[in-house]
Amino acid sequence: MKKGLALILATASTATAVPAMAQDTGFSGPWVAAVAGYDVNKPGSSQVSGIDPDQDVNAEGLMYGAGVGYDFDMGNLVVGAEGELTDSTADSTYNDPYTDFGLGSVDAGRDLYAGARIGYKLSPTTMLYAKGGYNNARFNFVGSDGTTSYRRHLDTDGYRLGAGIEHKLGTNAFAKVEYRYSNYSKGEIDFEADNIADSDRFDIDTDRHQVVASVGFRF
């Protein structure tokens, strides 16, 4: 009787352990994450020649927000799609009107990203990955017509490239660190507060560098 009871208990514990192990799907499935890090925005290479070299025109600060995504674990490779909404405290102290819409007196606003990533698993719990996609960022700037200063939103379109490392923390939680570079090549002035149509799109050249950390949960 005792042997039979022991066998039943052993079988039951094995049966309950299998579903628990099955919950760990590697790097597959939907996920959400909080993200924060260092954010620096600066004029691109085509803008630098018109800037006083003694002036610091970088807009630097802390970025923060949230991301979502879905990954497919294909063995050694992982592919997925992701999106992100962030904001930033980055601002500049450049005090001279900068009329060609590079980065002059500016602070960074909300930032939208949608893209894809591909990863290579170094181990069952650690993955290196590269990413890329579309980026839409808003900058708030002070302009001047030579007489009157005014504050406007500059909405920009561009792309983001990045790379990072992700590590599983148990079955569902994870942490990652990544570097990403963005370049914005098109912009338009947003006059929505004044009930005026947005400006025509025009060429810009703005670079963005970020080093960020994330913690998240995979379902």
pLDDT at 11: 45
pLDDT at 193: 60
The residues spanned by each domain of the chain are 27-218
Residues 6+ apart with CB under 8 A from 7: none
Say if residues 157 and 136 touch (Cβ distance below 8 Å): yes
pLDDT at 101: 46
What's the pTM value of the predicted model, to 2 decimals?
A: 0.79
Fold of 27-218: Porin (2.40.160)
d(CA 145, CA 151): 12
Burial grade of 79 (CB within 10 A; 0-12, 13-18, 19 or more):
middle
What are the two backbone dihedrals, phi and then psi, of residue 25, each rounded to the nearest 5 degrees? -100, 25
Nearest by Cα to 108 from 80, 145, 139, 79? 139
Between 195 and 80, residue with greater pLDDT: 80
Q: pLDDT (tens digit, 9 = 90+) per residue, 130-160? A: 999 999 999 987 665 555 556 678 899 999 9
Q: pLDDT (tens digit, 9 = 90+) per residue, 69-88? A: 999 999 999 999 999 999 99
Provide the pLDDT confidence category of residue 162 given band limits of 50, 70 and 90. Answer: very high
pLDDT at 194: 62
d(CA 120, CA 167): 12
Say if residues 26 and 73 touch (Cβ distance below 8 Å): yes
